[in-house]
Amino acid sequence: MANLREKYNKELRVTLQEKLGLKNIMAVPKLTKVVINMGVGEAANDKKHLDTAVADMAAIAGQRPVITKARKSVASFKIREGWPIGCKVTLRGNKMYEFMERLIDVAIPRERDFRGLNPKSFDGQGNYNFGIKEQIIFPEIKYDTVASIRGMDVCINTSATNKEDAKALLEVLQFPFKK
């Protein structure tokens, strides 16, 4: 089977061009980047939680994540400015398409009680955001070795200028939206 990038460039792009009624193939929206973010609040008390989160995200994304630090001190959360509290990864190019393929074909169908992704989670600029409750839906994560289950946020950035075009792009890529 051809990977998602080749399939998009050969077949799906023309289908999307016809669907949107565009004359120029270069005006067809495409994926620009995917950002995966994992907040680790327990890292304020124990740095080992952050190390396991970084290892899990590296396995999922295929590249080493960047550790994010707190921008403000929050006394009620017992967090100081500059403390590491999460990690994120920005995927572009082949790694982005490989992640999207695994996400659509393998990970999302493994989610418990899954009824589809919310079609209203688009912002006005053509980006789509959603959350994943458990990192164990990815086959790269071994369930036996997981100390604690963490969620993550996924932001799919497209070159579309509005949410209708972005939704059409993700539908062509066979994203499982709620009906």
CATH label of the domain that carries residue 87: 3.30.1440.10
Give the model's pLDDT for residue 49.
76
Give the model's pLDDT for residue 1.
40
- Residue 178 inside a domain? The answer is no
Q: What is the DSSP letter of 133?
A: S
Report, in angstroms and rounded to the nearest whole number, the Rg of the chain calculated over CA atoms.
Answer: 18
Give the model's pLDDT for residue 43.
61
End-to-end distance of the chain based on CA atoms, in angstroms? Answer: 28
- Residue 177 inside a domain? The answer is no
Give the model's pLDDT for residue 129.
93
| Segment 78-137, tens digit of pLDDT | 778 877 788 999 999 899 999 988 888 888 878 888 888 888 889 888 899 998 888 778
Strands lying side by side in the sheet with 84-91: 66-69, 84-91, 31-39, 152-158, 127-132
- Residue 69 inside a domain? The answer is yes
Q: Are 86 and 37 in contact (CB under 8 A)?
A: yes
**pTM across the whole model:** 0.85
By residue range, what is the domain housing residue 43? 4-172
